[in-house]
Amino acid sequence: MRSTVTIHRDYTISVIDPRLYGSFIEHMGRAVYTGIYEPDHPTADEDGMRQDVADLVRELDVPVVRYPGGNFVSAYNWEDGIGPKEDRPVRLDLAWHTSESNQVGIHEFSKWCDSVGTEMMLAINLGTRGLNEARNFLEYVNHPGGSEWSDLRRKNGREAPWNVKLWCLGNEMDGPWQTGHKTAHEYGRLAYETAKAMRSFDKSLELVVCGSSSATMPTYPEWEATVLDHTYEEVDYISLHMYLDNYEKDTAGYLAKSLTLDRYIETVAGIITYIKAKKRSKKDVYISFDEWNVWYHSKKRDEATLAGEKGWPFAPPLLEDDYNFEDVLQVGCILNTFINRADVVKIACLAQLVNVIAPIMTEPGGAAWRQTIFYPYYFASRFGRGTALKLAVDCPTYHVDNIGEVPMLDVSAVHNEKDGYIALFAVNRSSTETIDLDVVLQGYMPGSVIDDQVISHPDINITNTASKPDNVRPEAAADATISDGRLTAALAPLSYRFIRVKL
Ligand code: AHR
């Protein structure tokens, strides 16, 4: 099956904001406790942070990590996580029906972020709390000193402010499951007043207002229009979330679902444009897709904990999806969608980073390993920095009810000007046909292929485990070739491919 991609040096989508490859750590399940933090673990440093996990996070080169939730943040008191550890309260977390020890808070998390080389993206509680607690938290985090909250931070051991730029105004406030759920009008007003107060402290903050929790919410897309109508002038991003699944056990239908993500982005981009025009505004608002992933493998297993049948456990396994090979293809398609929409999606967070629907898994006291989805995220984060290129793609399609015509080839390309290469990320959605890929590189002087990696496996259900961590991993593919300004490669059925061409 022949597929042609035409790239022209002058046809670009946008410079990619590196934060497109962000991630997320929530105080839930084993993301924090026995995930990033486990003082008794053989690899723990003096702060109790697992270095085997930190090494894997460094490998991913994660630019930003959203924290501390998620649903958790909507009933969180940030003050519970500061001061001497022995004085910190145990709280019941209503979102996940668990107990929170507060042994990790903003100080411990920020230190961990520094050590793995990432920035914090902090979420404030607009569920059970409001403007006053938000402004206090902001003062604690960002003010140099000489005020009550900033001096308390200094007393607690952190002299310099963290200067966190990126703040989320609550989490999924459209969701009836959210503690302190609100209507679009209630939330829009609260988010506006909170944003205004936060900006009175510092005009340069980047603020993210909640959009929909998914494109299937009954309030979508009216929610976005109402919330932006209230907040447009005071916010920089609207947050979207989406998780994909394959309950139907239908690979073709599953892999088509990234098209629904693309339509979701397109619709919200349209709403942003509409509100901008309505307000006669000069400023732009972009999308922060700050929760995305595949999430379904673990849902049944979690029912008892979430129903409270296990009491209020500390850090129980929750949302521990064991990702399979099929999910590599889906995550590859999702990342391609973000790259191809880099003009409107500036921030995106793979939810989450460790143990909870995550690319990194751990055993308490034991191993840490890369899940299958680690790899497409790794390639995009490491090599997808630069300018997203506009691609003219000519390839066969297949039909999926309720979605329409689905291209067999899913692809994105990035020009990294700094290091002088083009990176191509491709998924062959066909389960039977090889794609004979022909990429025309107009206006470039392509040199040689410097990376050609493939991920494929005969068993779509295979996973990586503690004892078999390398069941699914990238392998060198040797057939990508440059000749006469064209890149050619054979993409095996149901495969992920990463190719890098030196310019
Ligand atoms: O990432 C898991 C959960 O999914 C988050 O807590 C919530 O925001 C979303 O519903």
The pLDDT tens digits of the residues spanning 150-193 come to 999 999 999 999 999 999 999 999 999 999 999 999 999 999 99
Q: One of 172, 224, 234, 326 is an active-site residue; which one?
A: 172
351, 383, 415: which is the final residue of a domain?
Answer: 383
Q: Is 172 in the pocket of ligand 1 (CB under 6 A)?
A: yes
Q: What is the model's pLDDT at position 65?
A: 98
Compute the distance from residue 80 Cα to the ligand 1 centre, in Å: 21
Looking at residue 88, the DSSP 8-state letter turns out to be P
Compute the distance from residue 1 Cα to the ligand 1 centre, in Å: 40
Considering the domain architecture, whether residues 72 and 166 belong to the same structural domain is answered as: yes
Q: Is 100 in the pocket of ligand 1 (CB under 6 A)?
A: no
Q: Which of 356, 360, 218 shows the shortest CA–CA distance to 297? A: 356
CB atoms within 10 A of CB 439: 26
Contact 25, 68 (CB under 8 A): yes
Considering the domain architecture, whether residues 353 and 402 belong to the same structural domain is answered as: no
Contact 471, 457 (CB under 8 A): yes
Nearest CA to ligand 1 atom 2: 70
Compute the distance from residue 242 Cα to the ligand 1 centre, in Å: 10
Q: What is the model's pLDDT at position 77?
A: 98
For the CA of 95, the closest atom of ligand 1 is 6
Q: Is 239 in the pocket of ligand 1 (CB under 6 A)?
A: no
Instruction: State which of 71, 168, 354 you would mutate to test the pocket of ligand 1, scoring each by most atoms of that ligand within 8 A of its C-beta.
Output: 71
Considering the domain architecture, whether residues 311 and 459 belong to the same structural domain is answered as: no
Q: Which residues fall within 8 angstroms of residue 166, CB to CB, at 6 or more apart?
A: 19, 64, 119, 120, 121, 122, 205, 206, 208, 347
Considering the domain architecture, whether residues 99 and 243 belong to the same structural domain is answered as: yes
Considering the domain architecture, whether residues 378 and 488 belong to the same structural domain is answered as: no
What's the CA gap between 309 and 26, in Å, rounded? 22
Query: How many separate domains does the chain show?
Result: 2
Considering the domain architecture, whether residues 172 and 260 belong to the same structural domain is answered as: yes
Looking at residue 77, the DSSP 8-state letter turns out to be -
Considering the domain architecture, whether residues 351 and 485 belong to the same structural domain is answered as: no
383, 400, 419: which is the final residue of a domain?
Answer: 383
Q: What is the model's pLDDT at position 99?
A: 98
Considering the domain architecture, whether residues 148 and 6 belong to the same structural domain is answered as: no
What's the CA gap between 63 and 118, in Å, rounded? 5
Q: Which of 124, 16, 107 shows the shortest CA–CA distance to 73? A: 124
Q: What is the model's pLDDT at position 368?
A: 98
CB atoms within 10 A of CB 1: 16
DSSP structure string for 432-487: S--EEEEEEEET-----EEEEEEE--S-TT-B--SS-TTSS--EE----EEETTEE
Residue 438 sits in a domain whose CATH number is 2.60.40.1180
Residue type, 199: R
Q: What is the model's pLDDT at position 478?
A: 82
- Catalytic annotation present for 326: no
What's the CA gap between 95 and 169, in Å, rounded? 18
Considering the domain architecture, whether residues 377 and 396 belong to the same structural domain is answered as: no
Q: Which residues in the chain come in under a pLDDT of 70? A: none
Contact 251, 494 (CB under 8 A): yes
Contact 210, 173 (CB under 8 A): yes
For the CA of 171, the closest atom of ligand 1 is 8
For the CA of 69, the closest atom of ligand 1 is 6
Contact 165, 203 (CB under 8 A): no
Nearest CA to ligand 1 atom 6: 70
Helix (H, G, I), strand (E, B) or coil at 102: coil
Considering the domain architecture, whether residues 264 and 372 belong to the same structural domain is answered as: yes
What's the CA gap between 88 and 74, in Å, rounded? 19
For the CA of 293, the closest atom of ligand 1 is 1
Residue 342 sits in a domain whose CATH number is 3.20.20.80
Q: What is the model's pLDDT at position 359?
A: 98
Compute the distance from residue 70 Cα to the ligand 1 centre, in Å: 5
Residue 75 burial by CB count (10 A; 0-12/13-18/19+): exposed, middle or buried?
A: buried
Residue type, 337: T
For the CA of 319, the closest atom of ligand 1 is 2
Q: Is 170 in the pocket of ligand 1 (CB under 6 A)?
A: no
Q: Is 351 in the pocket of ligand 1 (CB under 6 A)?
A: yes
- Catalytic annotation present for 224: no
Nearest CA to ligand 1 atom 8: 70
Nearest CA to ligand 1 atom 5: 70
C-alpha radius of gyration, the chain, whole number: 23
Q: What is the model's pLDDT at position 493?
A: 98
- Domain range spanning residue 393? 2-10+389-502
The token pair at 121 is 């993206």
Q: Is 68 in the pocket of ligand 1 (CB under 6 A)?
A: no
